[in-house]
Amino acid sequence: MTYRPENPLIVQGDHTVLAEVDSPRFPAARDELARFAELVKSPEHVHTYRISPLSVWNACASGEGPQPIVEALREYAKYPVPGHVETSIRDWASRYGRLRITRDGDALLLDARDEPLAEEVSRLKAVAPLLAERVDAHTFRVAAADRGRLKQALVKAGWPAEDLAGYTAGEPLPIALREVTRAGLPFAPRDYQWDAASAFHAAGTERGGSGVVVLPCGAGKTVVGMTCMSRLSESTLVLTTSVTAVRQWISEILDKTTLAPDQVGEYTGEAKDVRPVTVATYQILTHRAGRDAPFLNLELFDRRSWGLIVYDEVHLLPAPVFQVTAGLQARRRLGLTATLVREDGREDDVFALIGPKKADVPWKVLENQGWIATARCTEVRVPLPEELRLPYAVADARQRFRIASENPAKLDVVRALLRRHAGEPALVIGLYLDQVEAVAAGLDVPLLTGSTPQRRRDALYDGFRRGEIPVLAVSKVANFAVDLPDASVAIQVSGTFGSRQEEAQRLGRILRPKPGENQAHFYTLVTRDTDEQEYALKRQLFLCEQGYEYQIADAAEVEG
């Protein structure tokens, strides 16, 4: 291949890919890269992606082979793709499926495609203790209890095992989706929701039954979960992030399925009602009296014969639940998330224990189809007041970030933005409680934080949905699984360092489709020339990899 100046990609020998944003072919190239590469950084003109073993294995698990990956790189590359990069992609892809976990009656087997591979993995320090007796040259028996830990160890060793051992049937529970909701509205899963559920089940083959569905906030991940539940029709445990999210799940299940109220239970700090379908919080499962005390509620996993366990917002799955999940590999497992990025770097554990990516619909695709609102993302840079410049200069790194984040000059910018969007439902979101309280007081708007009683939270959410509360100030409590379908403006006054997952959730608060213009606005207020500006660049990665343009404006332009 010769030099092709019209193309946007430069594939480098270290498995990174540079993408020129100004190229007319960039949008198409970006969509291709999203299938098998991870966005690393995104300055204004050239974005950097990384191709890794895990990104290739996720592509393979979605049905992608190495040749389409290589062909996509060749199609959009400005220069010839380095030969060893193509070789690496083929090598990583070839490792997926060369080890398989299968079932022989009541026994589990680890089967290697050839004897040399069997010898290699059997000598791995982390793998050897998890293998029982050797059956033949390339097969080992595996204890059922070690199924998850074996998959974890193999992924970390670079040999992902394809799990074909099947699943234990749970308690039968007839579940059907309604054609008309209890509220009297027509209902049917959208095509992409049905396709995601079908990919999870894999048309009933042995490859179905575990994995992760990646969909934007506001795109109806709950509907995907209910569709999977109806197709399986077995007792289900749903795990999610908050009491509010638990009650939203229960409300949706009762509204859109044939399940009766006495078949659906809440398991939280406020109620512990185990029913054929039980919805619980991660927090209650990981609650304990002290750091060294036992977890009090993990026995919920054994309280019924669950046929399906749904992990909502799987990128937030706590470590103790990972540990329990390692022993639950005979149960079907569905992960739902807007992003596979985890701040603790445990994406490989999600891959091994919950399952590989089964479906991933780009945000911009759903936006173009009208299923989520069109979003405009703007970073507003605010000057640091003169009286804070010296305290900022002499502070340590963490305190500098806080001083910049809590910049009091941001309040006037918030006022100006709310005037610009007068009449549009707006959220003002912040990391620091003192800041959010000050903003709420300065704007004379209701405040919702982690300490807000659940009854008060429900009243505020309800008032916001009905339009009685036009502006709501919220802390991090509103990041995850909060049903605010009518929000069209989000103003982020402070964020969590470089958290891409948080940026995804906050943007998602405004993306549910709306009548009329269907336009949403996401603003991030950042103190100019401070550490906060650097962290904002990291959070911006998520927006860029989803295809959103990220405009930068000066506070003076907004206030003027």
Measured from the Cβ of residue 118, the count of other Cβ atoms closer than 10 Å reads 21
Q: Is the pLDDT of residue 478 over 80?
A: no
Q: Is the pLDDT of residue 444 over 60?
A: yes
Q: Is the pLDDT of residue 280 over 90?
A: yes
Q: What is the model's pTM?
A: 0.77
The three-class DSSP label of residue 552 is strand
- Helix/strand/coil (H/E/C) assignment for every residue in 180-193: ECCCCCECCCCHHH
Domain ranges of the chain: 9-95, 99-163, 191-361, 367-559
Phi/psi of residue 546, each to 5°?
-90, 0
Beta bridge partners of residue 382, listed in sequence order: 527
CA distance 528 to 405: 10
- Helix/strand/coil (H/E/C) assignment for every residue in 512-524: CCCCCCCEEEEEE
Cβ atoms of 452 and 459 closer than 8 Å:
no
Structure tokens at 125: 């320090």
Please, what's the largest Cα pairwise distance for the chain?
77
Structure tokens at 542: 């998520």
Measured from the Cβ of residue 2, the count of other Cβ atoms closer than 10 Å reads 5
Q: β-pairing, 9-11 with 16-20?
A: antiparallel
* Stronger pLDDT, 477 or 454, i.e. the higher one: 454
* CATH architecture of structural domain 191-361: 3-Layer(aba) Sandwich (3.40)
- Helix/strand/coil (H/E/C) assignment for every residue in 290-311: CCCCCCCCHHHHHCCCCCEEEE
Measured from the Cβ of residue 191, the count of other Cβ atoms closer than 10 Å reads 10
Region 367-559: CATH code: 3.40.50.300
pLDDT at 514: 59
DSSP string, 367-423: HHTTSS-EEEEEEEEEPPPHHHHHHHHHS-HHHHHHHHHT-TTHHHHHHHHHHHTTT
The mean predicted confidence, pLDDT, of the chain is 86
pLDDT per residue as tens digits for the range 61-119: 877 889 999 999 999 999 999 999 999 999 999 999 899 999 888 789 999 999 999 99
Structure tokens at 483: 């049903």
Q: Is-same-fold flag (191-361; 367-559)?
A: yes
What is the gyration radius of the CA atoms in the chain, in angstroms? 24
pLDDT at 498: 43
pLDDT per residue as tens digits for the range 359-410: 887 777 777 787 777 778 888 999 999 999 999 999 998 899 899 999 999 9
